[in-house]
C-alpha cells in the first residue's frame, strides 16, 4: 500500500483510534472507534478493517504491536473496484476515523475533493447512520457496510444491523467496561452476547474478556443451509454503552462458508436477563443443528 506514495491517480489512508500516546476522554469522543486502512488506484482498491490497537504506528512500514499478541483480534481485507471508492469515503465521513498516515496524488486532489475533505475533517452531513452495498472486485462476495456517527446514540447491532438483515445476531465483542446485556423480545433472542469461542484445531479458547475482535453472525429463523440467511459481520464497535457515542461500523458478508467458520466457534452465550454465572454452555454443533 505505501508503495503508492508519489504515484499518480492513487490515494491511501491508515487509521486507528489508538496511536502512540493516550487519548483523553474528551479526545476519544472526537474520533471514531475504528481501525483499518484503505488504498485505491484507477482500477481497484482494498479496504482493511481490523481490531488491532496501535497497528503500524510507523506510517511507512508495517509493524505489529506487542499488545496485539495478548488478546484475540480480527482482520478483514476486501478488494474492491474503483467504483466503490466514493461510497467507501461516505461511510468513513460518518464514522470519523483518526488518521495515522495519508496520501493523495496531486491529480486526485483536484479530481476527488472528497478525499482531501475527509482527511481534513471538512465534510458535513446530517445523517447519523448509513448502509452501503459493496462487492469484491471478482463479484464473488456480496456485502453491506453499516456506518454510524457519534450522534447515532444507539446500539450498532440491535438498532442498525439487525433491522436491515432481518435476523437475530450472535455478537462477539470486547466485554470490558460498561457492556450491554443480551437482548430478547417475547422470549426470542434478538442480539445475543457470545461469552466463549473455541478453535478446535488449535485447542485454543477465548472468553469475551480475552477476545478483542468484533464480529457478529446471523441466527437464521429456519433452515441454516440457505446462503441468503448466512451473514457474518466484522467491524469496529463493541456492545458497550459508551460506544453509543463513538463513530464506527461493520462490514457484513453474505457467505455460508465464512458464516459457518465463525458461527461454529461459539461454545457459550449469555441468556437474556442472565447473570454471568447463569450463562448457557453449548456445543457449537448443537447450536447450529437446532437453527
Q: Can you tell me the mean pLDDT for 268-278?
A: 69
Residue 281: predicted pLDDT:
44
At 93 the pLDDT is: 93
289 pLDDT higher than 60: no
- Specify if 76 maps to a domain: yes
Same domain, 181 and 219: yes
Lowest-pLDDT range of 13-27, 105-119, 156-170: 13-27
Answer yes or no: are the C-beta atoms of 169 and 216 closer than 8 Å.
yes
Question: Worst-scoring range by mean pLDDT, 6-20, 106-120, 275-289?
Answer: 275-289
**Could you report the per-residue pLDDT of 125-157, keeping only the tens digit for each?**
889 999 999 999 999 999 999 999 999 999 999
- Show which of 97, 127, 157 is a domain's final residue: 127
165 and 119, same structural domain? no
Residue 106: inside a domain = yes
The answer to whether residues 79 and 109 belong to one domain is yes
Percentage of residues in the chain with pLDDT exceeding 90? 68
Name the residue range of residue 64's domain: 2-127
Shared-domain flag, residues 98 and 218: no
| Average pLDDT value over all residues in the chain | 87
For residue 137, being part of any structural domain is answered with: no
Strands 44-50 and 142-148: unpaired
Q: How far apart are CA 50 and CA 259, in angstroms?
A: 18
Tell me, yes or no, whether 123 and 174 share the same domain. Answer: no
- Between 164 and 228, where is the model more confident? 164
Does an H or E element contain 11, and which? strand 10-16
Are residue 16 and residue 51 in the same domain, yes or no?
yes
- Residue 152 and residue 99 in one domain: no
Residues 26, 80 within the same domain: yes
Residue-level pLDDT at 223: 56
Residue range 14-40: average pLDDT? 82
Q: Residue 23: what pLDDT?
A: 66
Compute the distance between CA of residue 180 and CA of residue 69 in angstroms, rounded to an integer.
26
Kindly report, residue by residue over 174-216, the tens digit of the pLDDT: 988 889 999 999 888 999 999 999 999 999 999 998 999 999 9
Task: Give the pLDDT score at 18.
Answer: 87
Residues 94 and 156 in one domain: no
Confidence of residue 284 (pLDDT cuts 50, 70, 90): very low
Lowest pLDDT segment from 19-28, 112-121, 177-186, 262-271: 19-28
Q: Report, as an integer, the average pLDDT of 246-272.
A: 95
Instruction: Using pLDDT thresholds of 50, 70 and 90, give the confidence band for residue 286.
Output: very low
Do 120 and 198 have their domain in common? no
Ramachandran assignment for 56, one of left (phi > 0), alpha (psi -120 to 50 degrees), beta (any other): left
Place 221 in a pLDDT band, splitting at 50, 70 and 90: low
Distance CA 190, CA 267 (A): 18
List, in sequence order, every beta strand (DSSP E) within 155-230. 168-172, 183-185, 188-199, 204-207, 215-219
Is 134 inside a domain boundary? no
Strand 280-281 with 266-269, pairing:
antiparallel
| Domain C-terminal end among 99, 127, 155 | 127
- CA distances in angstroms from 77 to 133, 252, 281, listed in the order given: 16, 13, 32
Residue 89, SS3? helix
- 155 and 88 share one domain: no
Collect all residues with Cβ–Cβ distance below 8 Å to 37 and sequence separation of at least 6.
Answer: 1, 12, 13, 14, 15, 46, 47, 48, 56
Lowest mean pLDDT among 63-72, 101-110, 159-168, 271-280: 271-280
pLDDT, average across residues 251-273: 94
Q: Is 135 a domain residue?
A: no
Residues above pLDDT 70, as percent of the chain: 86
Count of structural domains, the chain: 2
Within a domain: 43:
yes
Q: Does 138 fall in a domain?
A: no
Is 136 a domain residue? Answer: no
Q: Residue 19 — very low, low, confident or very high, per pLDDT cuts 50/70/90?
A: confident
Residues 118 and 208 in one domain: no
Amino acid at each position: 500500500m505505501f508503495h503508492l506514495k508519489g504515484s499518480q491517480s492513487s490515494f491511501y489512508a491508515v487509521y486507528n483510534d489508538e496511536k502512540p500516546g493516550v487519548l483523553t476522554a474528551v479526545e476519544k469522543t472526537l474520533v471514531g472507534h475504528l481501525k483499518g486502512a484503505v488504498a485505491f488506484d484507477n482500477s481497484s482498491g482494498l479496504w482493511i478493517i481490523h481490531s488491532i490497537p496501535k497497528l503500524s504506528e510507523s506510517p511507512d512500514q508495517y509493524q505489529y504491536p506487542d499488545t496485539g499478541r495478548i488478546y484475540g483480534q480480527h482482520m478483514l481485507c476486501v478488494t474492491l473496484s474503483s467504483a466503490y471508492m466514493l461510497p467507501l469515503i461516505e461511510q468513513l465521513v460518518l464514522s470519523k476515523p483518526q488518521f495515522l498516515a495519508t496520501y493523495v496524488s496531486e491529480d486526485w486532489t483536484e479530481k476527488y475533493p472528497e478525499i482531501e475533505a475527509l482527511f481534513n475533517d471538512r465534510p458535513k452531513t446530517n445523517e447519523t447512520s448509513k448502509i452501503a452495498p459493496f462487492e469484491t472486485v471478482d463479484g464473488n462476495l456480496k456485502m453491506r457496510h453499516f456506518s454510524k456517527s457519534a450522534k447515532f446514540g444507539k446500539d450498532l447491532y440491535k438498532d442498525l444491523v439487525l433491522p436491515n438483515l432481518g435476523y437475530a445476531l450472535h455478537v462477539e465483542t470486547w466485554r470490558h467496561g460498561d457492556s450491554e446485556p443480551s437482548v430478547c423480545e417475547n422470549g426470542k433472542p434478538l442480539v445475543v452476547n457470545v461469552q466463549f469461542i473455541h478453535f478446535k484445531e488449535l485447542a485454543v479458547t477465548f472468553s469475551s474478556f480475552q477476545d478483542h475482535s468484533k464480529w457478529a453472525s446471523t441466527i437464521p429463523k429456519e433452515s441454516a443451509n440457505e446462503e441468503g440467511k448466512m451473514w457474518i459481520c466484522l467491524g469496529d464497535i463493541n456492545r458497550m454503552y459508551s460506544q453509543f457515542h463513538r463513530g464506527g461500523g461493520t462490514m457484513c458478508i453474505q457467505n455460508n462458508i465464512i458464516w459457518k467458520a465463525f458461527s461454529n466457534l461459539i461454545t457459550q452465550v449469555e441468556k437474556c436477563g442472565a447473570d454471568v454465572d447463569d450463562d448457557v454452555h453449548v456445543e457449537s454443533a448443537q447450536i447450529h443443528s437446532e437453527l
